[in-house]
């Protein structure tokens, strides 16, 4: 099931949960053109969703990373805006 988002962007409940975990400071992302996401130091079971969040410009690394290196992940301004919209809609 998907939650409403801006036109052209659809996120699953799992992707919303991933955004919330990253906002809480629990996410790490690898340096890569298709970055892998880790939550609580564990690899996410849905890397397709992780890639979707990165390509949509909702998450990124807090600093430059070497290929495969894990660094903290954070929400972009767009990611924060989506979470804010979700919380006000609830």
pLDDT tens, position by position, 6-34: 667 888 999 999 999 999 999 999 999 88
Q: pTM for this structure? A: 0.86
* Sheet with strand 37-39: strands edge to edge: 42-43, 37-39, 27-30, 70-75, 59-61
Domain count, the chain: 1
Instruction: Give the domain range for residue 19.
Output: 2-89
Q: Rounded to whole angstroms, how far apart are CA atoms 8 and 33?
A: 22
**Mean pLDDT throughout 54-75?**
95
CA 62 to chain centre: 12
């Amino acid at each position: 099931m998907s939650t409403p988002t801006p036109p052209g962007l659809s996120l699953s409940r799992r992707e919303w949960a991933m955004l919330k975990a990253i906002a809480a400071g629990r996410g790490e992302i690898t340096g890569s053109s298709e970055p892998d996401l880790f939550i609580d130091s564990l690899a996410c079971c849905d890397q397709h969703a992780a890639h979707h969040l990165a390509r949509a410009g909702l998450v990124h690394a807090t600093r430059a990373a070497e290929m495969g290196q894990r660094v903290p992940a954070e929400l972009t301004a767009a990611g924060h805006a989506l979470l804010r919209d979700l919380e006000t809609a609830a």
